[in-house]
Amino acid sequence: MKEKENKMNSEKKKQKIFRTLGRCIGEYKKATLLTPIFVVMEVLLEVFIPLLMSQIVDVGMDSSLTEFAFNINIGSASFHIFTLYNRIEFIVTVGGLMALMAMLSLVFGVLAGKFAAISATGFGKNVRKGIFYKVQDFSFLNMDNYNTSSLVTRLTTDVTNVQNAYMMIIRILMRAPTMLILAILLAVSINGQLALIFLAVLPILIVGLSIIASLAFPRFNAMLKKYDDLNETTQEDLVGIRVVKSFVRSDHEINKFKNVSSMAQKMQLRAENLLCIAMPLMQFAMYACMVAIAWFGGNKIISGEMEVGSLMAFISYVTQILMSLMMLAFLFVMLVLSKASASRIVEVINEDIDIKDSENTEDFAVADGSVVFSNVDFSYNKKTDNLHLEGVNLEIKPGEKIGIIGGTGSAKSTLVQLIPRLYDVTNGEILVGGRDVREYKLETLRNAVAMVLQKNVLFSGTIKENLKWGNENATDEQIVEAAKAAQAHDFIMNFPKGYETDLGQGGVNVSGGQKQRLCIARALLKNPKIMILDDSTSAVDTATDSKIRQQFREGLDHITVFIIAQRVTSVSDADRIIVLDDGKISAVGTHKELLKSSEIYKEVYSLQQRGVK
């Protein structure tokens, strides 16, 4: 029962892989269709060439003949094509025909290759695009399910695997069977008895190859997994190379790399070892066939049952048959190799996006910066028995300045991430501007709610380009104004190139505190109604920190601001402070009120004050 279910599931999965990847062919359908057509034409011509050759030998070179008839015999049927009375003329005509066919076959071969390349590279491009676009739509929750290095592997190695397999499919899937069938037919029609020889070898070969292939597949799968590990280790090391160096962990990293790298090599060796047997097996079968055919065929020629040219053509067909079998076996291996890659790609493309744009056709504007949490529960894994945020009720007026404080892991970031809908609530609702956040278009909501994330990044490019992320149409004056409010203008102007300073990848050219201020300026340029600073001034000195808050109070009094901080001084002048403890609101009030009412707040404050003194 269960087995049947599993089988059905894997069948469904396969269909899904084909359907999803099939969609990626997109605008390259024509090229994809043309490839097998040209391949078949190439093969047709190729297959008839040995037949022409046998005519030259058997008819053109037969000294007993005076008239030279060109007949094509297929089975018992004989087609008369033409008769010539001059030996040289006959040989030149048939030879010319052979050259013409070879040339045409070459042209079709080139065309097939060209269209295969167009459609395979196009297919690869579309698959890559599919993954990348999908990842752009990922919510934070979706992102939590994948690690970055795995996504990079999927976008690169896996796409290349699938693209190569696709190319093989459209070229070989038609070529090998067509050639196989035609060559077998023609060989049988030349001499049925001789054909029995390789028909006897064929099953042995097929069984041998299938055994090798079925043993090789699990080994190849294991090898691919090791390559995943290798990619992950390399990527992790490269991303964190500065940490590795500062902790002098190079030796440890080198050892780790050595291990996974040699593991990957070992697994590949194990897999390839099997395939090493395949080639000699093919060749052994081929030469055994040749010897047998030469022996029996030679006897037939001596007894006058067969002509030399026919035997030559026959041997050509045997070679073609074995070649196409080899290609099919190779294709089979490629397909299984790429199956792992294909399902990894399809997994991303078909990932359910959990935060979708509102289905309301109307694009509501965010009226004001008010925020209401009503009975909000939240769990990262959507389990109500494992809540990360529980029973939150809050009402925040437009323009209010809210401080949030609490120990690490008390769900401060979790609380504010629900406002711009980076995650959706598990229970309850959140209203922004008097409307449930799920009713807004995501873009509208996120434009109105600017958030400086705790783990923020800048991108390669100049300071100005980075700030323009907030608003691509911002004028120079607006940029300077935002930078001033975020206390970034002065240090920017201290750089020789000012706003044109190149930040390098991930903003490596600025200090931690400078980076934080640039992130705040970038968020300010959105001209938001709500601004969330998640620990965004932790690396900024207290004086500058206080100046930034002063700016928010005076210059930006219409914006609702949430400031998450570890330092009590960073929130003490807020209109209200929320104290979070283990996913619950423990107290809300002003600095003065909380000093009286909240034990936690009082303790944190006195501990921090002691540090100051």
Ligand X SMILES: Nc1ncnc2c1ncn2[C@@H]1O[C@H](COP(=O)(O)OP(=O)(O)OP(=O)(O)O)[C@@H](O)[C@H]1O
Q: How far is the CB of 454 from Mg ion (least distance, A)?
A: 5
Q: Select the binding partner of residue 388 from ligand X, Mg ion, none (C-beta < 5 to 8 A, by kind).
A: ligand X
Q: Report the residue number, 343 or 566, with the smaller CB distance to ligand X.
A: 566
DSSP 64: T
Taking CB within 5 to 8 Å according to partner kind, which of Mg ion, ligand X, none is near residue 201?
none
8-state DSSP, 352: P
Give the contacts of 131 (CB within 8 A, at least 6 positions apart): 151, 154, 155, 159, 345, 348, 349
Q: Which does 408 bind (CB under 5 to 8 A by kind): Mg ion, ligand X, none?
A: ligand X
Asked if 570 touches ligand X (CB under 6 A), the answer is: no
Q: Does 515 bind ligand X (CB under 6 A)?
A: no
Closest separation in Å from C-beta 133 to ligand X:
23
Task: Closer to Mg ion by CB, 454 or 546: give it.
Answer: 454
Q: How many residues bind ligand X (CB under 6 A)?
A: 13
What is the gyration radius of the CA atoms in the chain, in angstroms?
A: 36
Nearest residue (CB) to Mg ion, 102 versus 141: 141
Binding window for Mg ion (CB under 5 A); candidates: 3-11, 102-110, 387-395, 453-461? 453-461
Shortest distance (Å) from residue 535 CB to Mg ion = 6
DSSP for 443-460?
HHHHHHEEEE-SS----S
Name which of residues 110 to 169 contact ligand X (CB under 6 A).
144
Task: Tell me the closest approach of the beta carbon of residue 514 to Mg ion, in angstroms.
Answer: 21
Q: How far is the CB of 477 from ligand X (least distance, A)?
A: 35
Residues that contact Mg ion, how many (by CB under 5 A): 2
Nearer to ligand X, 58 or 390 (CB): 390
Query: What residues contact residue 502 under an 8 Å CB cut-off, 6+ apart?
Result: 460, 461, 462, 509
CB of 39 to Mg ion, least distance (A): 58
C-alpha–C-alpha distance, residues 445 and 434, integer Å? 12
Does the footprint of Mg ion cover residue 454 (CB under 5 A)? Answer: yes
C-alpha pair distances (Å), 226 with each of 2, 28, 86, 232, 263: 30, 33, 68, 10, 7
Residues 370/371/374/378 CA torsion (nearest 10 deg): 170
Chain residues 372-431 in contact with ligand X, contact rule CB under 6 A: 380, 388, 406, 408-414
The SS3 call for residue 468 is coil
**Count of beta carbons in the 10 Å neighbourhood of residue 306:** 21
Please report the sign of the dihedral spanned by the C-alpha atoms of residue 481, residue 484, residue 490, residue 495: negative
- Of 94 and 411, CB closest to ligand X: 411
- Site map for Mg ion, 397-426, x if CB under 5 A? ----------------x-------------
Q: Where are the beta strands (DSSP E) in 41-114?
A: 68-74, 77-84
146 binds, among Mg ion, ligand X, none (CB under 5 to 8 A by kind): none
Query: CB 449 → Mg ion: shortest distance, Å?
Result: 17
Among residues 406 and 420, whose Cβ is nearest to ligand X?
406
**612 φ/ψ sector (left φ>0, alpha ψ -120 to 50, else beta):** alpha
Structure tokens at 113: 């290759």
Burial category of 5 from C-beta neighbours within 10 Å (exposed 0-12, middle 13-18, buried 19 and up):
exposed
Q: What is the dihedral of CA 362, 365, 368, 373, to 10 degrees?
A: 40
Q: Which does 410 bind (CB under 5 to 8 A by kind): ligand X, Mg ion, none?
A: ligand X
The residue (of 314 and 605) whose beta carbon lies closer to ligand X is 605
Pick one of Mg ion, ligand X, none as the site partner of residue 403 (Cβ within 5 to 8 A by kind).
Answer: none
B/e letters for 475-493, b = 16+ CB within 10 Å, e = fewer, are eeebbbbbbbbbbbbebbe
Cβ nearer to ligand X, comparing 63 with 386: 386
Sheet holding 427-432: strands in order across? 389-396, 371-378, 427-432, 435-436
Return the number of the residue (64 or 408) whose C-beta is nearest ligand X.
Answer: 408
CB of 535 to ligand X, least distance (A): 6
**Using CB under 6 A, which residues numbered 535 to 554 contact ligand X?**
535
Among ligand X, Mg ion, none, residue 411 binds (CB under 5-8 Å by kind): ligand X
Comparing CB distances to Mg ion, the nearer of 150 and 417 is 417
- Least distance to ligand X, CB of residue 406, Å: 6
Closest approach of Cβ 244 to Mg ion, in Å? 25
CA distances from 592 to 167, 395, 568, 570, 607 (A): 71, 20, 12, 14, 16
Report how far residue 11's alpha carbon sits from residue 381's, in angstroms, rounded to the nearest whole number: 29
- Helices 512-524, 476-485: crossing angle, 10 deg rounding: 130
Q: Confirm if 420 and 451 have CB atoms less than 8 A apart.
A: yes
- Residues 448-477, mask of contacts with ligand X (x by CB under 6 A): ------x-----------------------
Cβ 388 to ligand X shortest distance, Å: 4
Q: What is the smallest separation between the CB atom of 409 and Mg ion, expressed in angstroms?
A: 8
Instruction: Check the CA dihedral 345-350-353-354 and report its sign.
Output: negative
Strand (E) or helix (H) holding 577: strand 576-581
Query: Which residue ranges make up the site for ligand X (CB under 6 A)?
Result: 144, 380, 388, 406, 408-414, 454, 535
Query: Which residue ranges make up the site for Mg ion (CB under 5 A)?
Result: 413, 454
